[in-house]
Amino acid sequence: MQTRDFGRLGPISALTLGGGGIAGVWGRTDRAEAVATVRAAIDGGITMLDLAPSYGVDAESERAAGEALRGHAADHVLVTSKVQVPDDEGDFAGRIGRSLRASLDRIGRAHLDLFVLHTQLRPRDGGEPLSDKIGWPQYEDEVVPELERLRQAGLIRAWGITAVGHPDSVLAALRKAPRPDAAQVIINPLDMSGDMWPWGDVPTANDEIRRTANDNDIAVIAIRAVAAGSLTSALDRAVAPDHPAAVDFARAEPFRKLAAEMGETPASLAHRYALSTPGVATVVLGVKNRAELAECLAAEARGPLTPDELAAVTR
All domains in the chain, ordered by first residue: 3-314 (3.20.20.100)
* Extended strands (E) in the chain: 3-5, 11-13, 15-18, 48-50, 78-83, 114-117, 159-162, 182-186, 219-223, 280-285
**How large is the average pLDDT for residues 204-213?**
97
C-alpha distances (whole Å) from 138 to each of 64, 91, 92, 164, 220 are 32, 10, 8, 17, 24
Rg of the chain over Cα atoms, rounded to whole angstroms, equals: 18
Residue 71 has pLDDT above 90, yes or no: no
311 near 300, Cβ under 8 Å?
A: no
The whole-number pLDDT of residue 128 equals 63
Which residues in 172-203 are b (16+ Cβ under 10 Å) and which e? bbbeeeebbbbbbbbbbbeebbbebebbeeee
Q: Name, in order, each residue with C-beta under 8 angstroms of 171's C-beta and a sequence gap of 6 or more.
A: 205, 208, 209, 212
The pTM for the full model equals: 0.97
Res. 126 pLDDT band, cuts 50 70 90: confident
Give the residue-averaged pLDDT of 194-222. Answer: 96
- Average pLDDT value for residue range 104-116: 98
